Amino acid sequence: MPQYNLHKLSTTAPKKFDKDTTKAETEKIVGELNELQNLLYAEGQHSILIILQGLDASGKDGVIRKVFGRMNPQGVDVVSFKVPTEEEAGHDFLWRIHKNAPPKGRIMIFNRSQYEDILVTRVHGWCDDKLAKKRMKAINDFEELLQEHNNTHILKFYLHTSAEEQQERLNERMTNPAKMWKYNKRDFEEAKLRNKYYSVYEDCFKNCNKPEWVIVPSDQNWYKEHLIAKALRDLLNGLNMKFPTLQAQGA
């Protein structure tokens, strides 16, 4: 069982990784991902669900742009889950999630996810421990449904940044004109709740279904991108996909 003490887990790249070498390697992997995604789409037997979680300014948007931005948009979708709409709030919390589950042949990226219903909600006391436990069971059942009944392969990434790095990034949003659109006063208040977030995240990591969460040291974007690209490449390679033959197409 992996260790999930977020206070102890590193937010930076291991020493052996050199920035330039790693970036070049990532560049190569991103090229491979394009080919693999094309094969996934053509074969149409598997679906991929990538879940991105992390505190504010942990770099979720960045990884989507850098790692997935050059894939064929015909086979990749992204959904950002914000505060539920009135229609969504009228349903169970997994309704809007299930609607966006990936069909066979496609990759879906969740920028935040079903897990928010046991994270931000718990930190703010809108969801107590008992309800959180019920929701975790529902999430586990739901992921089993996707895995067992639609060949969905799930990757769960927690982008792990230090308090200092987070503060720096939030501050940059007040000075860099290209980042001001992300400024939100409340983020500074949320940042003070880091310890509470750690504790609900750790509980979630421990009690949720396979696959295990990948804790991604994310203070350096180049390392974060490398790790995520590599995890997806390895997953896709492991599926032993094949292009359908003419025969399979009924010729």
List residues near a second copy by CB under 8 A. 44, 87, 90-95, 98-99, 101, 103-105, 134-135, 138, 141-142, 144-146, 148-150, 152
State which amino acid sits at residue 62: G
We find the least distance from the C-beta atom of residue 239 to a second copy, in angstroms, to be 17
Q: Which is nearer to a second copy, 149 or 186 (CB)?
A: 149
Contact call for residues 42 and 74 (beta carbons, < 8 A) = no
Contact call for residues 116 and 51 (beta carbons, < 8 A) = no
We find the least distance from the C-beta atom of residue 118 to a second copy, in angstroms, to be 12
Contact call for residues 127 and 152 (beta carbons, < 8 A) = no
Q: Which is nearer to a second copy, 19 or 133 (CB)?
A: 133
State which amino acid sits at residue 129: D
Q: How far apart are CA 58 and CA 158, in angstroms?
A: 9
Q: Which is nearer to a second copy, 117 or 203 (CB)?
A: 117
Q: Which is nearer to a second copy, 144 or 212 (CB)?
A: 144
Q: Which is nearer to a second copy, 147 or 171 (CB)?
A: 147
We find the least distance from the C-beta atom of residue 141 to a second copy, in angstroms, to be 4
Note every long-range contact of 238-242, with CB atoms under 8 Å and residues 24 or more positions apart, other chains counting.
239/40, 239/46, 239/153, 241/36, 241/39, 241/40, 241/43, 241/45, 241/46, 242/39, 242/43
Q: Which is nearer to a second copy, 22 or 47 (CB)?
A: 47
We find the least distance from the C-beta atom of residue 104 to a second copy, in angstroms, to be 5
We find the least distance from the C-beta atom of residue 23 to a second copy, in angstroms, to be 36
We find the least distance from the C-beta atom of residue 92 to a second copy, in angstroms, to be 4
Beta bridge partners of 152: 47
Torsion of CA 106, 112, 117, 118, to 10 degrees: 110
